[in-house]
């Protein structure tokens, strides 16, 4: 124990004056890594795996995806992201196909974190790389797309105390624009597009530990029911206004080192698909697992 005491003293003395926790905290608010929409914070995290059974496509195809997402802080406020997925596609009346989708990379900057008002925002640039996946077999793009992004999160713990049951609520959202570097591929137009999504979260963890102890025991005291929405509206090249997207109700359980989430996938219209799909994700917080190596920024405190 004395060894630990000495270690704690040594390291606590050198603790930087930063927010207490890195991954997704703004004051008392913990924003989990959402499954569909992008997160409003830079982090050292990995989602492995993300398993998606998509709703039946508008063309009748069935698709299952296995994905991985990796996020790494270069500095406390600047981060990189990498993501890709392996796709198994069963077209209607045709042989199945499989292969990797395009690699997506991102550069993100944490604009601010406001602890008292549980607010944070992030700006970034994502690049989906052409020819980085199996174009013919898995439908990966043969063109690169640049996507400037803006992500935000807001917890409502700063509401008046009388609004007890609303204070565990939080909203995260993301806005982005797609700029393909080719206007068409094999005769099909590649329009610019507006992507917009948000998540409405009700944190039982926040309720139990920061607002009112209602006697929730494990595992319920770390659960966050949520509903996510993600939509995409093409803007030009003959496809303007054909919005597609999904609504995804589900739940996330967030532990200290990892979280597990599951959501149903509901298409918003026929163009987005038919029926119900599902997604399950296991997500690890590298800053907690490897705080002195892989889980810390490459540069800076």
Q: How far is the CB of 255 from other proteins (least distance, A)?
A: 7
Query: Could you please report the per-residue DSSP string of 126-164?
Result: EEEPTTSS-HHHH---SS-EEEEEEEEEEE-TTS-TT-G
Backbone angles phi, psi at 287, to 5 degrees: -70, -25
Closer of 51 and 127 to other proteins (Cβ): 51
Closer of 8 and 146 to other proteins (Cβ): 8
Closer of 186 and 218 to other proteins (Cβ): 218
Chain positions contacting other proteins, by CB under 8 A: 1, 4-5, 7-9, 11-12, 15, 20-21, 27-28, 48-49, 51, 64, 66, 88, 98, 161, 164, 208-213, 255-258, 282, 284, 288-289, 291
Q: How far is the CB of 70 from other proteins (least distance, A)?
A: 15
Q: How far is the CB of 230 from other proteins (least distance, A)?
A: 25
Closer of 187 and 215 to other proteins (Cβ): 215
Q: How far is the CB of 174 from other proteins (least distance, A)?
A: 27
The C-alpha atoms of residue 258 and residue 253 are separated, in whole angstroms, by 9
Backbone angles phi, psi at 222, to 5 degrees: -125, 20
Closer of 20 and 94 to other proteins (Cβ): 20
Q: How far is the CB of 40 from other proteins (least distance, A)?
A: 20
CA dihedral 116, 117, 118, 122 (to 10 degrees): -110
The C-alpha atoms of residue 190 and residue 184 are separated, in whole angstroms, by 5
Q: What angle do CA 76, 81, 82 make, to 5 degrees?
A: 155
């Amino acid at each position: 124990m004395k060894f630990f005491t000495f270690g704690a003293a040594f390291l606590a003395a050198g603790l930087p004056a930063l927010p207490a926790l890195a991954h997704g905290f703004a004051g008392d608010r913990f924003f989990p890594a959402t499954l569909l929409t992008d997160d409003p914070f830079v982090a050292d995290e990995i989602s492995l795996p993300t398993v998606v059974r998509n709703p039946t496509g508008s063309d009748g195809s069935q698709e299952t995806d296995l994905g991985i997402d990796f996020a790494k802080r270069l500095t406390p406020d600047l981060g990189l992201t990498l993501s890709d997925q392996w796709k198994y596609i069963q077209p209607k009346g045709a042989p199945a196909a499989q292969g990797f989708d395009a690699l997506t990379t991102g550069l993100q900057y944490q604009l601010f974190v406001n602890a008292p008002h549980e607010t944070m925002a992030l700006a970034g640039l994502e690049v989906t790389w052409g020819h980085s996946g199996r174009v013919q077999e898995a439908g990966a793009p043969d063109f690169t797309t640049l996507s400037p992004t803006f992500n935000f999160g807001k917890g409502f713990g700063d509401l008046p105390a009388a609004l007890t049951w609303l204070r565990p609520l939080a909203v995260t959202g993301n806005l982005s624009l797609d700029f393909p570097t080719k206007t068409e591929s094999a005769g099909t137009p590649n329009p610019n597009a507006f992507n917009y999504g948000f998540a409405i979260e009700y944190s039982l963890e926040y309720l139990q530990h920061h607002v009112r102890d209602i006697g929730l025991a494990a595992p319920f005291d770390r659960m966050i029911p949520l509903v996510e929405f993600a939509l995409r509206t093409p803007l030009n090249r003959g496809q303007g206004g054909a919005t597609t997207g999904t609504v995804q109700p589900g739940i996330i359980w967030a532990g200290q080192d990892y979280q597990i989430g599951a959501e149903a996938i509901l298409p918003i219209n026929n163009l987005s698909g038919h029926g119900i799909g599902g997604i399950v994700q296991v997500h690890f917080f590298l800053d907690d697992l490897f705080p002195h190596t892989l889980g810390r920024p490459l540069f800076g405190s």
